[in-house]
Amino acid sequence: MRNPKTKFLIKIIFFVTIFICNVIGSFIPEGRAGQEAILIGTQLYFMGGSRTIPSSNPIKSNIRGYNLSDEVFFLDLSSAFSTNNPPFVDLSDAGARMEFGNEKGSVVLGGANKDNVYLVGGTQQDLALLNKDDQNKTITSNQTLMIEQIFNTYNATDQMIFLYRPASRAWSTLGQGVIGTQPTRRRTTSTVIDQNGKIYIFGGRVEFDMFSHTLILYNDLYTFDTTLIKWEKIDAANAPSARSHATPILLPSGKILYIGGVTQSAPGVQTNLLPMTEPRVGHTATLTPNNKTIIILGGTTSYVLNQTVPQPNYLSLDISKEPYQYSELKLSGNNPPYLSFHTTTLYSNYMIVAFGNITNDASPSYETSPNIYLLDVNCLAWANKFSTDSSSCPTPSPSSPSPSGPSIGLIVGLVLVGLFAIVVVAAIIWFIQKKVKKRKKSNILNAYPSNGYPSNGYPSNGYPSNGYPNGYRAESCA
User: Which structural domain, as residue segments, surrounds residue 148?
Assistant: 30-406
Contact 314, 333 (CB under 8 A): no
Residue 208 pLDDT more than 50?
yes
Residue 102 pLDDT more than 70?
yes
Residue 62 pLDDT more than 80?
yes
Write down the number of H helices and E strands in the chain.
Answer: 5, 37
How far is residue 328's CA from residue 316's CA, in Å, rounded to a whole number? 6
pLDDT at residue number 93: 82
**Digit-coded pLDDT (tens) for 418-429:** 555 565 556 666
Q: Are residue 170 and residue 106 in the same domain, yes or no? A: yes
Q: Are residue 282 and residue 329 in the same domain, yes or no? A: yes
Domain final residue, candidates 389, 406, 423: 406
Q: Are residue 383 and residue 432 in the same domain, yes or no? A: no
Whole-prediction pTM value?
0.79
**Digit-coded pLDDT (tens) for 110-136:** 999 999 999 999 999 999 999 999 999
**Digit-coded pLDDT (tens) for 387-434:** 998 766 765 544 444 444 444 444 445 545 455 556 555 666 656 666
**Digit-coded pLDDT (tens) for 366-389:** 789 999 999 999 999 999 999 998
* Confidence class for position 174, pLDDT limits 50, 70, 90: very high
One-letter amino acid identity for 451?
N
Measure Cα distances from 101 to 122, 232, 305, 332, 343 in Å: 10, 28, 20, 37, 18
Domain final residue, candidates 352, 377, 406: 406
* Confidence class for position 21, pLDDT limits 50, 70, 90: very low
Q: Are residue 145 and residue 73 in the same domain, yes or no? A: yes
How far is residue 237's CA from residue 219's CA, in Å, rounded to a whole number? 12
The answer to the question of residue 147 being in a domain is yes
The answer to the question of residue 420 being in a domain is yes
Peptide bond into 289 cis (omega under 30): no
* Confidence class for position 302, pLDDT limits 50, 70, 90: confident
Q: How many domains are contained in the chain? A: 2
**How high does pLDDT run on average in the chain?**
83
Q: Are residue 158 and residue 301 in the same domain, yes or no? A: yes
Tell me, what CATH number does 345's domain have?
2.120.10.80
The answer to the question of residue 16 being in a domain is no
Contact 109, 158 (CB under 8 A): no
Paired with 171 in beta bridges are 164
pLDDT at residue number 379: 95
pLDDT at residue number 419: 56
Express as a percent the part of the chain with pLDDT over 70. 75
pLDDT at residue number 404: 43
The answer to the question of residue 208 being in a domain is yes
Helix axes of 127-134 and 143-153: crossing angle, nearest 10 degrees = 160
Q: Are residue 329 and residue 443 in the same domain, yes or no? A: no
Q: Are residue 291 and residue 433 in the same domain, yes or no? A: no
The answer to the question of residue 20 being in a domain is no
pLDDT at residue number 451: 43
Q: Are residue 365 and residue 258 in the same domain, yes or no? A: yes
How far is residue 103's CA from residue 65's CA, in Å, rounded to a whole number? 15
The phi, psi pair for 187, rounded to 5°, reads -130, 175
